[in-house]
Structure 1
């Protein structure tokens, strides 16, 4: 019996994937665990393993094409197996079974009262909603936007998308009246498009970049941000790090980066001010018992935020090793869905790029993100009133004001400054 390689769920929020490239070709022998292809998800490009042994008989989805979850990507035949006469029928059935969920749910949204709906969230819909469901299938929109539109009875064809390339995103649907905008009237949110000429290049965005755009738009439009900045004395940290690394170099120990200490300071500050380690949940606030430290890592396609889980239990050495491991996996496209799960607070460090200070956008559904700037020499006044050369660094916090109050955030930053200016305390 032919084995079907299907589009796997490589991230917790993935609804479709882009087949970035095949690492095998038709006719190749394949084994269990072997990497077959690179798949671009909403979070990163990941390797897709093989779950069968045999020969790759036929590739169904070419490099660069998208496919929904569980869609058939390729056919594997066992050693010595003949190609069945009904292979095309097997493939067609598999493709039909993998049809996107929104399309499968639409008939239920417009069903008559005598037909059972899938659940309480899909009540019997009036006639306009059936027309909306039919037209929604032809509109460029994110899977989440389609789902919300189906539930609200919004006709996507009446909306103007504010996402990349005019794509309709969640915020557009939530801002629309039930049934959508009136045809011929003003759009719910006008799209802003660039004007470009024949010599300009229009590059289609990747799935990951589209999701980044959608999440950041949702963050800035749905989360009430506030921003705090604090200047800290980085001299003690730089001296402490230099001495520690010099000692470790002689013994062949770990070499620590400035970011390792920053991450440890964030963890200790979150333990001291646990109200920062929380998230908004509609009509409640979730207070996390453990610190899931999301570390922003730049890759070619954008920014990924893998998580150091149970960070409060890790030593400085374990934090340093975890970051190196996650950064290596990110650059080699080996991050797994589990690497992204469980984040409760994010750190974004642009100091290595020469940025002194900046305000970061919150990584939803978290309530805070910490922005770290560069360490620079600056004239400062010492305890004796003398102007001397010091080392200064700006630390910023962007907070969700539904969860975090200004005083709480200020206390958190004060705790961070304490650990940065007295780095030995991090090891206690």
Structure 2
């Protein structure tokens, strides 16, 4: 029996997601567990799997469209089911036919006239100048695009006429706009004054490589270029603003001598197929400290403090689209090399935008490391609903005192940001002491 496939809530409290792609065409049969839709959330790409055998009778939204959670995206039926009258079926299910929203063919108009027609709900956008038809008369050329692509193009200052659509029937979708933005960025942006931009908008279309989103707002004010927010950057901004406003942060700082840690890393990497980083060892030390001080392995919930039996650690990974924090599960049971392999896999898939939503949820603590950039010391904002985040600085040689004498040693500074609601100051101090002890005695990390 035919039924509606609705946009799932893949992320907690999500109100919208992007229908990234349809792996199967209309009329295709599928088996239980097959991927029948690919959906993009703010930070991840998720596959929607079939819960039973069936067939895709009709897709209701185009690729690249933003869809509210719970809204219908397709009509699916049982194995071998057919729908000879899809409009009647849609009416029976209480859904308007997408064809009813498609625009009628553009009428011809006298030469030089530019007819105005409203865009359809599926993103039909009238061209801003008539295109010559086969007979030489002016005919308005319609350009179709998804709502997401329209918004991205507008924010990036791109003209639709200069973007090649690769979606169904030439529809412009998200990846087309991203490709146009990348092409423009490679060619370099051009700063123009507002008056020049207004003149350019009424003139002939500008090539994507020269299209800009920039302005000189007033005399004496520096020129600027606007870079549209990515979905990830919007999500990070919202979550971290909420965290800083609602989570009472306090900070515990420590300094560890890491000469022995660096020697251990060299030994682990000597001829090994998997390279271990300092950050991988730090992640293992974090998990060890959580085992020694279980009162840190918690998060604040509305009605209780939630304490975990295993140690899940988020790893901050920077991508071109923004920051993501995938979660390593049960780090206390992982070897250092397995941590290194998992982090490398996360980094590769994060930069390709292929992390799953479930990989971004959970954990009680995050690790963020700017040491590779030479940053000595910094404090990070807690990633809610976690209870802490450890900011790791660079390992640097400095004068150190040992047994009353002065010598050169390699030290690393760390800052632990803590949510004061589930964790008291003395607990964070005990955790920092346990962590520093593990780092300075790294063989214990491997135990």
- Shared fold (TM-score, shorter chain, > 0.5): yes
Contact 2:45 2:357 in 1 (8 A): no
In the alignment, the residues of structure 2 paired with residue 65 and residue 86 of structure 1 have an alpha-carbon distance, to the nearest angstrom, of 24
Q: How far has the Cα of 1:27 moved from its partner?
A: 5.8
Cα distance, 1:90–1:297 mapped onto 2, change above 3 Å? farther
Separation in 2 of the partners of 1:201 and 1:64?
Answer: 26
1:330 equivalent to 2:354? Answer: no
Structure 2 contact 376–413 (Cα < 8 Å) conserved: yes
Q: 1:61 to 1:197 in 2, by over 3 A?
A: farther
Given that residues 72 and 91 in structure 1 are in contact (C-alpha distance below 8 angstroms), is that contact kept between their aligned partners in structure 2? no
Contact 1:56–1:76 at 8 Å: present in 2 too?
A: yes
Shift of 1:422: 1.0
Deviates more, 1:30-39 or 1:417-426: 30-39
Contact 2:6 2:71 (8 Å CA) reproduced = yes
1:229 aligns with 2:248: no
Q: 2:397 aligns with which of 363, 377, 395?
A: 377
Whole-angstrom CA distance in 1 between matches of 2:323 and 2:277: 20
Measured after TM superposition, the shift of residue 392 of structure 1 is 1.8
**Counterpart residue number, 2:233:** 209
Q: What SS is found at the alignment partner of 2:430?
A: helix
TM-fit CA distance, 1:56: 6.2
Select 1:310's aligned residue among 313, 327, 330. Answer: 330
Structure 1 residues 351-406: Cα deviation after superposition (integer angstroms, max 9, x where no partner)? 22332221111112222111111222334344462443x32211110011222233
Worse overlay, 297-306 or 2-11? 2-11
Query: What is the rounded CA distance, in whole Å, between the counterparts of 2:310 and 2:372 in structure 1?
Result: 29
CA distance in 1, matches of 2:405, 2:386: 42
TM-score by length of 2: 0.62
**Does residue 393 in structure 1 map to residue 436 in structure 2?**
no
The alpha-carbon distance between structure 1 residues 302 and 46, as it changes in their structure 2 partners (threshold 3 A), is farther
**Counterparts of 2:30 and 2:278, CA distance in 1:** 43
Q: How much does 1:90 deviate?
A: 4.8
2: CA distance, partners of 1:269 / 1:204: 41
Q: Which moved more, 1:263-272 or 1:63-72?
A: 63-72
Deviation of 1:277 (Å): 1.5
Query: Whole-Å Cα distance in 2 between the matches of residues 279 and 50 of structure 1?
Result: 34
TM-score of the superposed pair, with normalisation by structure 1? 0.65
1:244 to 268, 286, 295: 268
- CA shift at 1:12, angstroms? 3.6
Query: Is the aligned partner of 1:46 residue 2:46?
Result: yes
Cα deviation, residue 48, structure 1: 4.3
**Which residue of the other structure, out of 62, 83, 86, is the alignment partner of 1:84?**
86
Deviations 1:82-108 (A, max 9, x none): 34341442564389xxxxxxxxxxxxx
Paired with 2:227 and 2:273, the residues of 1 have a C-alpha distance of 45
Name the counterpart of 2:429.
410
Cα deviation for residue 219 of structure 1 reads: 0.9
**Residue 192 of structure 1: aligned partner:** none
**Distance verdict in 2 for CA 1:203–1:49, change over 3 Å:** farther
d(CA) in 2 for partners of 1:289 and 1:240? 29
Please tell me whether the aligned partners of residues 357 and 373 of structure 1 are also in contact (alpha carbons under 8 angstroms): yes
Where 1:86 maps in the other structure, the secondary structure is helix
Contact 1:3 1:52 (C-alpha < 8 Å) held by counterparts: no
Tell me whether 1:281 sits opposite 2:291 in the alignment.
no
Structure 1 position 35, deviation (Å)? 5.2
Matched residue, 2:66? 66
Give the structure 2 partner of residue 300 of structure 1. Answer: 320
Q: Matched residues in 2 for 1:55 and 1:284: separation?
A: 45
- Secondary structure at the residue paired with 2:363? coil
Structure 1 pair 313/367, CA: closer, same or farther in 2 (3 Å)? same
In structure 1, stretches of 5+ residues that fail to align are: 96-194
Larger Rg belongs to: 2
User: In the TM superposition, what is the alpha-carbon distance from 1:265 to its structure 2 partner?
Assistant: 0.5
Aligned to 1:156: none
Instruction: Provide structure 2 residue ranges, at least 5 long, that are not aligned to the other structure.
Output: 98-213, 218-222
Alignment partner of 1:392: what SS? Answer: strand
Q: Give the 5 Å matches for 1:78-227.
A: 82-90=84-92, 92-93=94-95, 197=216, 202=226, 204-227=228-251
Mapped partners of 1:90, 1:321: distance in 2: 51
CA deviation map 1:248-275 (0-9, x unaligned): x2xx553212111101100111111222
